Amino acid sequence: MPISLRWKRPAPLDVLAPAMQWGRFCTWIKAVLERPQLLRNRERAWKIYAGVHDTLKTSEPVGCPNDGLARFADHILQAHCAKPVRYLEIGAWQGHSTAFVYRILSGDVQITVVDPFVEYAEIGDGIMHHAQEVFSANMKAMHAEDKVRVLKGRSVDHLPSLIESGEQFDIICIDGSHATLDVLLDAVLCWRVLSSGGLLIFDDYWYRRPDLGAGYRPKLAIDAFVGAMSHEIAVLDVARQVFLRKK
């Protein structure tokens, strides 16, 4: 290899996605130094979330106020998108996060969800039973049914047509398949339909499924994506969920 090219090899820190390391550090520092604000955001998010949970038909336990809900609601509110906000969710299941986003934005939102609504490798039997019907009933219970478009099928089946038709979204949440390759695919394809200044959220950054083999590591996909595209990305927060803004 010519000597001039040797220096163009990736430095070790590139492989570690320094933007993600820095994002993680900032999230941690903010959680300590800005604790009072985070606690206020927790209360605000919890009021919305608990109301949504009471409205939905769900098998999910309600949980309790936490920093994750606070960050989710706060980033959506701080995204300052033009109304109605164009929101895309990959992986909707029974509609909990869809309904949460709908309520955070006081209904001023146009929602698109993509989900095959069939059993898949990561879940036990019966979890997807009637999921689409439950999703529809939940949107009805929220009075959101007119604001929601459902694209039934895998993200890889629908995102290319959304790209082709030139659609753009202000906020995208990726919470579909957790297979590393699928997360990478979702990141790449969703980036094409995310508007400039838009917010991209990944769920389950730390997810691992050793029982299914080595191929279920969203973190590896997200780190690789951020490493490759860091010139277009501002990393806002790195915790169980990752929040990125498109520059």
Ligand X SMILES: C[S@@+](CC[C@H](N)C(=O)[O-])C[C@H]1O[C@@H](n2cnc3c(N)ncnc32)[C@H](O)[C@@H]1O
Q: How far apart are CA 86 and CA 188, in angstroms?
A: 19
Contact 87, 124 (CB under 8 A): no
Residue among 19 and 100 whose Cβ is closer to ligand X: 100
Instruction: Say whether residue 225 binds ligand X (CB under 6 A).
Output: no
| Residues 164, 169, 175: CA angle, nearest 5 degrees | 95
Chain residue at closest Cβ approach to ligand X: 91
Query: What is the smallest separation between the CB atom of 105 and ligand X, expressed in angstroms?
Result: 16
Contact 163, 192 (CB under 8 A): yes
Residues 157 to 186 in contact with ligand X, rule: CB under 6 A: 175-177, 182
Cis peptide, bond prior to residue 61, ω within 30 of zero: no
- Residue whose token pair is 């996605």: 17
Site string for ligand X, 97-136 (x = CB under 6 A): x----------------xxxx--x-------x--x-----
Stretch that binds ligand X, among 11-19, 22-30, 32-40, 84-92 (CB under 6 A): 84-92
Contact 177, 209 (CB under 8 A): no
Q: Give residues in contact with ligand X (CB under 6 A).
A: 90-94, 96-97, 114-117, 120, 128, 131, 154-155, 175-177, 182
